[in-house]
Amino acid sequence: GAVVSQHPSWVICKSGTSVKIECRSLDFQATTMFWYRQFPKQSLMLMATSNEGSKATYEQGVEKDKFLINHASLTLSTLTVTSAHPEDSSFYICSARAWPPDNEQFFGPGTRLTVL
Protein backbone atom coordinates (compact mmCIF):
# COMPACT_ATOMS: atom_id res chain seq x y z
CA GLY A 1 0.00 0.00 0.00
CA ALA A 2 0.89 3.65 -0.28
CA VAL A 3 3.22 4.91 2.42
CA VAL A 4 3.41 8.39 3.87
CA SER A 5 6.18 9.40 6.22
CA GLN A 6 6.51 12.35 8.57
CA HIS A 7 9.61 13.84 10.07
CA PRO A 8 10.25 14.39 12.83
CA SER A 9 8.01 12.06 14.79
CA TRP A 10 8.31 14.28 17.82
CA VAL A 11 9.85 17.66 18.52
CA ILE A 12 10.29 19.86 21.57
CA CYS A 13 11.06 23.52 21.08
CA LYS A 14 11.20 26.75 23.00
CA SER A 15 8.48 29.34 22.73
CA GLY A 16 9.14 31.79 19.92
CA THR A 17 11.05 29.42 17.68
CA SER A 18 9.87 27.96 14.38
CA VAL A 19 9.46 24.29 13.66
CA LYS A 20 9.26 22.56 10.29
CA ILE A 21 7.48 19.26 9.79
CA GLU A 22 7.95 17.26 6.61
CA CYS A 23 5.41 14.97 4.98
CA ARG A 24 6.55 12.67 2.20
CA SER A 25 4.73 10.21 -0.03
CA LEU A 26 7.27 7.44 -0.44
CA ASP A 27 5.92 5.33 -3.27
CA PHE A 28 3.41 7.46 -5.10
CA GLN A 29 2.94 10.98 -6.34
CA ALA A 30 0.62 13.03 -4.20
CA THR A 31 -1.19 15.77 -6.06
CA THR A 32 -2.85 16.87 -2.85
CA MET A 33 -1.71 16.74 0.74
CA PHE A 34 -3.68 17.59 3.84
CA TRP A 35 -2.56 18.79 7.24
CA TYR A 36 -4.54 17.97 10.33
CA ARG A 37 -4.24 18.85 13.96
CA GLN A 38 -5.43 16.54 16.68
CA PHE A 39 -5.90 17.36 20.35
CA PRO A 40 -5.90 14.57 22.94
CA LYS A 41 -9.00 12.41 22.82
CA GLN A 42 -10.40 14.40 19.94
CA SER A 43 -10.96 13.97 16.25
CA LEU A 44 -8.80 15.30 13.45
CA MET A 45 -9.22 18.94 12.56
CA LEU A 46 -8.32 19.81 9.00
CA MET A 47 -5.98 22.78 8.93
CA ALA A 48 -5.23 23.15 5.25
CA THR A 49 -5.14 21.51 1.85
CA SER A 50 -2.05 21.84 -0.26
CA ASN A 51 -1.82 21.16 -3.94
CA GLU A 52 1.53 20.73 -5.63
CA GLY A 53 2.78 23.96 -7.12
CA SER A 54 0.06 26.18 -5.73
CA LYS A 55 -0.79 27.99 -2.54
CA ALA A 56 -2.39 26.08 0.27
CA THR A 57 -6.05 26.50 1.08
CA TYR A 58 -6.58 27.08 4.77
CA GLU A 59 -9.64 26.20 6.77
CA GLN A 60 -11.54 28.91 8.51
CA GLY A 61 -9.88 29.99 11.72
CA VAL A 62 -6.43 28.69 10.84
CA GLU A 63 -3.77 31.40 10.78
CA LYS A 64 -1.96 31.37 7.47
CA ASP A 65 1.01 33.29 8.83
CA LYS A 66 1.33 30.97 11.80
CA PHE A 67 1.14 27.73 9.87
CA LEU A 68 3.10 27.99 6.64
CA ILE A 69 2.54 25.19 4.17
CA ASN A 70 4.66 24.48 1.13
CA HIS A 71 4.02 21.71 -1.40
CA ALA A 72 7.02 22.10 -3.66
CA SER A 73 6.99 18.65 -5.23
CA LEU A 74 4.65 15.75 -5.82
CA THR A 75 6.18 13.85 -2.92
CA LEU A 76 6.88 16.51 -0.30
CA SER A 77 4.84 18.98 1.70
CA THR A 78 6.09 20.92 4.69
CA LEU A 79 4.30 22.59 7.57
CA THR A 80 6.20 25.29 9.41
CA VAL A 81 4.85 26.46 12.74
CA THR A 82 6.23 29.97 13.08
CA SER A 83 6.92 31.64 16.41
CA ALA A 84 5.53 28.64 18.21
CA HIS A 85 3.79 29.06 21.55
CA PRO A 86 2.64 26.49 24.11
CA GLU A 87 -0.89 26.57 22.71
CA ASP A 88 0.51 25.25 19.41
CA SER A 89 1.50 22.04 21.17
CA SER A 90 -0.44 19.27 19.50
CA PHE A 91 -0.30 16.17 17.34
CA TYR A 92 0.04 17.09 13.67
CA ILE A 93 -0.87 14.53 11.02
CA CYS A 94 -0.49 14.79 7.29
CA SER A 95 -2.16 12.77 4.60
CA ALA A 96 -1.62 12.44 0.90
CA ARG A 97 -4.00 11.75 -1.92
CA ALA A 98 -3.08 10.22 -5.24
CA TRP A 99 -5.47 11.37 -7.93
CA PRO A 100 -6.46 9.42 -9.94
CA PRO A 101 -7.69 6.90 -9.27
CA ASP A 102 -9.77 7.77 -6.24
CA ASN A 103 -10.29 9.92 -3.23
CA GLU A 104 -8.52 7.83 -0.61
CA GLN A 105 -6.12 9.60 1.71
CA PHE A 106 -3.04 7.88 3.08
CA PHE A 107 -1.97 9.10 6.49
CA GLY A 108 1.42 9.72 7.97
CA PRO A 109 2.31 8.55 11.48
CA GLY A 110 2.00 12.03 12.97
CA THR A 111 4.33 14.50 14.67
CA ARG A 112 4.04 15.36 18.33
CA LEU A 113 4.97 19.01 18.89
CA THR A 114 5.63 20.27 22.40
CA VAL A 115 6.36 23.96 22.86
CA LEU A 116 7.90 24.90 26.19
Strands 111-115 and 10-13: parallel
Residues 13, 25, 105, 116: which binds other proteins (CB under 8 A)?
A: 105
* 57 in contact with other proteins (CB under 8 A): yes
- The residue among 69, 67, 65 whose CA lies nearest residue 90 is 67
Distance of closest approach, residue 32 Cβ to other proteins, in angstroms: 5
The interface region with other proteins, picked from 11-19, 61-69, 78-86, 99-107 by CB under 8 A, is 99-107
Give the number of other CB atoms < 10 A from CB of residue 45. 15
- Contacts with other proteins, 4-43, as mask; x by CB under 8 A: x-x-------------------------x-x------xxx
**Alpha-carbon distances, residue 108 vs 60, 71, 77, 87 (angstroms):** 23, 15, 12, 23
**Alpha-carbon distances, residue 106 vs 58, 60, 114 (angstroms):** 20, 23, 25
What is the binding site for other proteins (CB under 8 A)? Answer: 4, 6, 32, 34, 41-44, 46, 49, 57, 91, 93, 95, 97, 99-110, 112
